[in-house]
Amino acid sequence: MEIRLEGLEVIIVAILVLWLGMALTRRLPFLEKNNIPLAVTGGILCSALVALVASVWQVKITFAMELRDLFLLFFFSTIGLGAKLKTLAAGGRTLALLTAVAAVLLVLQNLTGVGLAKLMGAHPGYGLLGGSISFAGGHGTAIAWGDEAVKAGLKGGREFGIACATFGLIAGGLIGGPIGGWLIEKHRLRPENAEENGGSLEEKPCREIRVEEVLGTLLALAVCVTAGDLVNRFLSLKGLALPGFLTAMMVGIAITNAADFLNEPLSRPAIDRANELSLQLFLAMSLMSMDLLSLASAAGGIFVVVVGQMLVMTLVVVYLVFRITGRNYDSAVMAAGFAGLGLGATPVAIANMTAVTRKYGPSPRAFLVIPLIGAFFIDLLNAVVIKFFLVWLG
């Protein structure tokens, strides 16, 4: 028997998942202490419950993911709508440094994956799937390269890549917050004056948001998604296909800076709320829909790979990200975000940073730099690094 939930039914479950995460965080101090995102806690429990129902009562519950994909586009649109050109320029040096660190991470992930594959007697191609393809690349890259791996004779390559990407999503949400909090407490770091930095996406304004501000933000989000799709189609005809979320974010950047130029700025509080809402719903839908039963068959090998990649990520964010970006409060928040970005996806990075800043205070620079790396630079670098390793491995 199969039950398929669609449309508003999926939203209902996602909201219940978030409420579950909130309730558990309030009642289990270690979750709040370690800055575990709400969607991670509730989503994992929901997927475990779905797996239990399928195993015991033979009832398979599936979710339609069209709304999840729309919320992802909304999320990146809000990132663009919050990016001012003057702020982008201010993050230039940090952005360059972290892009270089991202390149180092991709190489280390593939070396780790290939090394573990050889130790377990598997083809090194599985190591690449258990490296930057699935972890830094995420589900999209894992599916694309997994299909190529199957064509090359790697049995179950697609499923293995998806499994690594799925558990990487969880791992990124589990270690990012604790690392950021540990760095902040160890070095007794505190945020700079938020007003001097122009505010940030994670700040919680006290004033009431007016209806016209909400309508203006909804209009801007709709334009970002629609115009972004048109831009993407045009570029595809020219041979340059970009992810839909990237073009939506680019349109958002253009809109917010054009509005400032015309002296008609968008409502930052309304954008902030849209950002948080779309992020939380996207993550909840992603994690609650995990098919844990199908992943269980390869759990042993995947567990070894995930633990290895978690160790690599921890070393990279503590000894590279934190140190080269200044060893300050922003650096600690960026370390939390980078862990989510390198093991899972940009929304996981934002969720990690939101959990940390909700407890310790705002970090505008982190919320500017990390999404830019995740939305653009890391995917370009990953394509180059993967090609290099394919040539090296023959």
Among all chains, which residue has been given the structure tokens 């995947």?
302
Residue 162: its H or E element: helix 157-186
Q: Domain range spanning residue 289?
A: 2-393
How many helices, marked H, and strands, marked E, lie in the chain? 19, 2
Nearest to 79 by CA among 342, 331, 255: 255
User: Which pLDDT score, from 0 to 100, does residue 361 have?
Assistant: 92
Output the six-digit token pair for 153.
């004779």
Q: What is the pLDDT of residues 94-151, one digit of tens each?
A: 989 999 999 999 999 999 999 999 999 989 999 999 999 999 988 767 877 887 888 8
Q: What is the pLDDT of residues 337-384, one digit of tens each?
A: 999 999 988 888 998 999 999 899 999 889 888 988 886 688 779 888
What mean pLDDT is predicted for residues 165-194? 90
User: Which pLDDT score, from 0 to 100, does residue 155 have?
Assistant: 83
Q: What is the pLDDT of residues 49-91, one digit of tens each?
A: 999 999 999 999 999 989 988 998 998 898 889 877 776 666 6
Q: What is the pLDDT of residues 138-154, one digit of tens each?
A: 876 787 788 788 888 88
The pTM assigned to this predicted structure is 0.76
Report the CATH number at residue 306.
1.20.1530
Is a pLDDT exceeding 60 seen at residue 194? no
Q: What is the pLDDT of residues 213-246, one digit of tens each?
A: 999 999 999 999 999 999 989 988 888 777 787 7
Among all chains, which residue has been given the structure tokens 């939101």?
354
User: Which pLDDT score, from 0 to 100, does residue 197 have?
Assistant: 44
Mean pLDDT of the chain: 87
- Split into its structural domains, the chain has a count of 1
User: Which pLDDT score, from 0 to 100, does residue 196 have?
Assistant: 44
Is a pLDDT exceeding 60 seen at residue 205? no
What angle separates helix 138-151 from helix 378-393, to the nearest 10 degrees?
20
